[in-house]
Chain A
Amino acid sequence: MSTVVRRGEQGGSARPAAHGAPLLRLLATELRWVLRRPRTLVMLGVFASIPVLIAIGVAVADRSAGPRAGLIGAIAGNGLVLPIAAMTLSLALLLPLAVAMAAADAIAGESAHATLRGLLLAPVGRLRLVGMKAFGVLVVATLATTAIAVVGVLAGLIVVGDAAASPQLVTLSGTTTGLGAALGRVALVAGWTIGQLAAVGAVALAISAVTEHPLVVLAAVLGGLIVFGVLGAIPALDWLQPWLLTTGWTAGVDALRDPLPLDDMATSSLRALGYLAVGGGLAVFRMLRRDV
């Protein structure tokens, strides 16, 4: 066979091959796998179309003139609100769905295709496998959010034609900021959104490590989101609110206020960090013991 034996293997005193394939190569392989999957590409296309659809809707509504209110209404006068509005809307359901799908494919899906065995036999260590899979899920979360943000900025600039000449963000508080600062705020919301999605992804990955049915992961994550939404809406249970991941999911809109209030985003990021730690820990714990 025309293969190469690892140098370190040769000779009795050399260190044993206890480290598996290089981590970068594993991550590149995972990236390639995620990006070649047709559903990932379809999903990215869908996310890129969300701001476009909102922009079209706003443009049409604008022509038929009427009283506009709220976040969507604000887009009409101000294109740079569009990406932030699109991200906030998507975070409610679509983005978590995409992340749950990626996490479902990551472990449960591999198990269903009997490819998980192959990875462990290569061997990819079980801990590394979780790392590799978490990376793949994070890539999907990042790409989906970025798709919305970038297309949102472009669509926003086009929809509000006049503003394109001197683009600026009119905040909900009535003040204006320049294009640079506005883009900074869009990036801030995108980063914050990715953080929230990472928390969802970690929990989804933990579920994915338990089951071999990808659908279970999707159902659990969506069901969880709905339950969280219901619990959050019950006044008698307001003591529960600080513990629900979904509680702070409207904080992204804060980026449209001036001066920029960071409290809610910081609190929800901390909450996300907690979910991330618990989800990640459970995923590792379960994966180390999983029968494959």
Chain B
Amino acid sequence: MTAAPDSLRQDGGPAGGERQEGHPAGVPAGPPWAARAVGLRKVFGPTVAVDGIDLDIPAGCVLGMLGPNGSGKTTLIRMLLGLTRPTAGTAELLGHAIPEQAAVALPHVGALVEGPGFHPFLSGRENLRRVAATEPLLLGRGGGRIIGAAVDAAVERVGLADAADRRYRGYSLGMKQRLGLAAVLLAPRRLVVLDEPTNGLDPAGTRDVRRIIEELHSAGATVVVSSHLLAEVEATCTHVAVLQAGSLVAAGELWALLKAGTGGLVIATPDVDLALRTLRAAGVTAYRDADRDLIVVAEDGLPAPAIVALLVRADVAVHEARRPSTRLEELFARLTEDSR
């Protein structure tokens, strides 16, 4: 946890210049942050759901929000979107204070929070028409035609064209999720928030979500995805924020976090006790690998060649020394288990 960068704040997000292509023409370049949380805190009775989170989400990034169940991801998202009032702290969306200026920011924001919500007695298309009618950006002469076109395009984009005219009541979980995604894509967005978008989706649906996230990203939009599927996040995200028990445990660019996670050196040796003594005497943090008997893990202190030289001089038989390649899954497990 100490190895991870403190906050996305350090990364210095891309300035407005990067997001021209595919972006709705003429929309002025926004602030460098798509969303900010400053000391956000939310308390439900005796439970602290979110405990003073500072997070800056750079414009144009794809942020994967990770955390075990109940770690405060959804509450944080809901506060950022103005659905829930924070107990303390402030939120900002696209440079506008939330909830005071939500009306200015939200038209450019698409969000799928806590699963899709639609009326069962209406068809998928009718449900989308209803949502589209409330979108401030879908305006112009012949409003009905514009809404119809937006609905058709969104339905097509999420691969729901065949089922669009069926009642929502009869939709499968995956189709419901796709319809929720379609509602997010009705208007041109500068920020898209997807809370567990791959819930209930088959592999093809998961691929579609990944494709849509990539399309949004290359069009210059900022995407915030919360997910339990670490492989998904690793494949699609540029940035990661890890939450644990309402606190931000780590946040930063994905590659930086993964690199910071590979600080250790794994040494295979039969002389484990001797190796530990030698390393600790030299000021290196070293411990026995919990699962495998003959392995010592050394972290911090000295560069790899110095550690190996030290061990060899102390007559420790070094069979193998390697840097572990951290997967996000390992990093996540380490981050969220350490702080328990």
Q: Give the B-binding residues of A (Cβ under 8 A).
A: 1-6, 9-12, 16-22, 25-26, 28-29, 32-33, 36-38, 113-125, 289, 291-292
Q: Which residues of B contact A118 (CB under 8 A)?
A: 117, 131, 134, 183
Prevailing SS type, chain A contact patch: loop
Cβ–Cβ < 8 Å partners of A124 in chain B: 134
Residues of A within 8 A of B115 (CB): 114
Residue of A nearest to B29 (CB): A12
B135 sits at the interface (CB 8 A): yes
B136-167 Cβ-contact flags toward A at 8 Å (1 or 0): 11111001001001100100000000000000
Interface string of B3-41 (1 = CB under 8 A from A): 000000000000000000000111110000000000000
CB–CB A120/B83 < 8 A = yes
Beyond A6-B137, A33-B130, A291-B83, whether A123 also contacts B117 by CB under 8 A is no
User: What range describes how many residues of B lie at the interface?
Assistant: 35 or more
Inter-chain contacts of A5 with B (CB < 8 A): 24-27, 137, 188
Stretch at the interface among B119-127, B243-251, B287-295, B310-318: B119-127
Count how many pairs of residues, one from A and one from B, have CB atoms less than 8 Å apart in the complex: 131
A10:B27 contact, CB within 8 angstroms: yes
Residues of B within 8 A of A12 (CB): 28
Q: Is the CB of A28 within 8 A of B133?
A: yes
B174 within 8 Å of A by Cβ? no
Contact present for A38 and B121 (CB under 8 Å): yes
Chain B nearest CB, measured from A23 CB (Å)? 11
Which of B26, B78, B138, B153 contacts A9, CB < 8 Å? B26
Q: Given the complex, which residues of B lie within 8 Å of A22, measured CB to CB?
A: 139, 143
For the complex, is B228 an interface residue (Cβ under 8 Å from A)?
no
State whether the Cβ of B118 lies closer than 8 Å to any Cβ in chain A.
yes
- Apart from A116-B117, A117-B113, 7 more pairs, CB < 8 Å: A4-B140, A5-B25, A21-B136, A114-B117, A117-B117, A118-B183, A121-B109
* Alpha-carbon distance between A3 and B85 when the two chains are bound, in angstroms: 32
- Cβ contact within 8 Å between B83 and A6: no
* Residues in A whose Cβ lies below 8 Å from that of B26: 5, 9-11
Q: Which residues of A contact B200 (CB under 8 A)?
A: none
Q: What's the Cα separation between A36 and B26 when bound, in Å?
A: 38
Report which B residues bind A (CB closer than 8 A). Answer: 24-28, 78, 81-85, 102-104, 106-107, 109, 111, 113-122, 126, 130-131, 133-140, 143, 146, 149-150, 153, 183, 185-188
Q: Can you list 27 A-B contacts with CB-CB less than 8 angstroms, sorted by A residue number?
A: A1-B188, A3-B186, A5-B137, A5-B188, A18-B103, A20-B134, A21-B139, A25-B133, A25-B143, A33-B119, A36-B126, A38-B121, A113-B119, A114-B115, A114-B116, A114-B117, A115-B117, A115-B118, A118-B183, A120-B82, A122-B107, A122-B135, A123-B103, A124-B134, A291-B83, A291-B84, A292-B84
A292 and B83 in contact, given A6-B139, A12-B28, A115-B119 (Cβ under 8 angstroms): yes
Q: What's the nearest-Cβ distance from chain A to residue B44, in Å?
A: 9
Known contacts A18-B103, A117-B113; A32/B130 CB under 8 A = yes
A1's partner among B78, B119, B139, B185 (CB-CB below 8 A) is B185
Measured between beta carbons, the chain A residues less than 8 angstroms from B114 are 114, 117
Note all chain B residues with C-beta closer than 8 A to A125: 103
CB-based nearest A residue for B110: A121
Q: Which residue of A lies closest to B142 (CB)?
A: A4
Compute how far the CA of A33 lies from the CA of B25 in the bound complex, rounded to whole angstroms.
33
Complex formed: what's the CA distance from A42 to B153 in Å? 34
